[in-house]
Amino acid sequence: MNNVNTIKPTIIVVFGATGDLAKRKLFPAFYNLYLDGRMPEKFKILALGRAERSDALYRNHVSENLIAFSRNKIASTEAYQQFASHINYLQNDIDHEESYQIMKQKLDAIDLSFGERANRLFYLSIAPSFIETITNNIKKMDLAANPAQDRIIIEKPFGYNKSSAMLLNELLSQTFKEEQIYRIDHYLGKETVQNILAFRFGNSMFEPLWNRNFIDSVQITVAEEVGVEDRGGFYEDAGALRDMIQNHLMQILTMVAMEAPTSLQADEIRNRKADVLKAIRRITPEEVKHYTVRGQYDKASIKGKPVSGYLQEKGVVANSNTETFVAMKFYLDNWRWQGVPFYVRTGKRMKEKQSSIVIQFKPVPHSTFSFGKEGMMPNRLIINIQPAMDIRLQFMTKKPGLSLSLKPAEMVFDYFSCSTQSPEAYETLVLDALLGDPTLFMRSDQVEEAWDVVTTIQEAWENDKFSSLYKYEAGGWGPEEANKLLARQGHEWASNSLNDVELEEKEVADGKYF
């Protein structure tokens, strides 16, 4: 990675600076980078919002949010005041050209104070419907005319289907070159997701096994305990397929399945990820029901407290068929992965918050130990992304004692044992954008291919054809049909914690695994 000291003076322009994302993620990321000495020596954050506010009032707003949401709390008033001195608030109406003229004057004034033309990073923390207006005005005012210095970060959702994503790419290309556009997926900034590359391509012991000859199946789970909360209106237009599968889970899948890059250059890595998306076998409309399961959480009691179902959430229509759970099976048609099922699932109001990758290896060809009631639990490599951050290798070993009995065991690498202050995903991604490193950001072809993978599924569900919507109790692991999806090939959703492994040990002794 480039040295942060080489970053030229930079102006970060935040559209939507009074919104939830800026409050919870962006300004804590800026602050933590500042404390770690990762911000440019000269920088300004230009915070844009509709309401009229003074710099002092907005800085107080930032201070309150840092206390609530930053991993580094405000321990030193002096350090915070130094950081806050870099923040200016600017009243801005996205729809009015005059606001962009005022912005241009402000940017020019900051350049003058720096003694040189600064880099410009435009962060669009706004609804997708405003992107066209903002980018058109940026072009009209000539605010991002230098491809080497000016960049724009676009938050998800990037479109709502393939055609809209292509239109959005075309729109952005009228103002920005591809190398200026940073399409953000915060999952790619997570420490454990980034470590997949190091784990796979930095070790000789696993990469030879990372193929169809040794791997039986792959599972990717992103589960949330919470429901839609106060985002019912947004979720009605999104659903789990658009909100999670098309972006987060697709990006994790590419990290697991990609071929080895020849270098760590951004385009080389992104080329390999695009290859994976192109290799995913497309599901025909008639196959949607066979390969996918969609569900919607129903009311239940969790820990003795009643919990609303999705249909009772604020902003949700009475007869909504929006899915809050998706499980599906993919195949990759290439040499490395032919015939290996990739199972993915995501849902709200699940039993626990959990993001994990489970690599299940093929069973031994002949089990010397399959006598009596003993069996063999599958060997698994588990990468926990959140809230646990670890890598676990599960294997069989001999029980201590005189008899030749087996038991499952684990070797664990725990990130928290190495560092209790791991950087947040947005810190990593903001720093990369400041450095001009697009490796962890999505390229236009990746976005369009990811949408193409789910297009027929999306259309079938919207037309209510070739699929059913199953109810599941809040606080569970989704509808029973998700288990049946795997059971057809003799698989089941794997455990990813040591407690669950100990429960499986009893099942091994009872002869469940063989």
User: Catalytic positions, please?
Assistant: 248
Which residues participate in the annotated binding site for substrate?
A: 186, 190, 224, 243, 348, 353
- The residues, any chain, with a CB within 8 Å of residue 243's CB and separated by 6 or more, are 157, 235
Using the CB atoms, write b or e for 477-510: b if 16+ within 10 Å. Answer: bbbebbeebbeeeebebbbbbeeebeebbeebbe
What tokens were used for 185?
């997926």
Which residues, 6 or more positions from 252, have their beta carbon under 8 angstroms from its beta carbon? Answer: 187, 193, 220, 222, 357, 385
**What are the angstrom distances between the C-alpha of 117 and each of 107, 111, 145, 178?**
9, 5, 12, 22
What residues are designated binding site for NADP(+)? Answer: 16-23, 50, 93-94, 156
- Other C-beta atoms closer than 10 Å to the C-beta of 364 total 13
Phi, psi of 471 (to 5 degrees): -85, 145
* Distance between CA atoms of residues 462 and 449, nearest Å: 20
Do 146 and 121 contact (CB within 8 A), yes or no?
A: no
DSSP conformation letters of 170-229: HHHHTTS-GGGEEE--GGGGSHHHHHHHHHHHS-TTTGGG-STTTEEEEEEEEE-SS--T
Q: Which of 445, 437, 9, 446 is nearest to 189 (CA)?
A: 437
Decide: 62 and 51 in contact? Cβ < 8 Å.
no
Rounded Cα distance, 254 and 450, in Å: 10
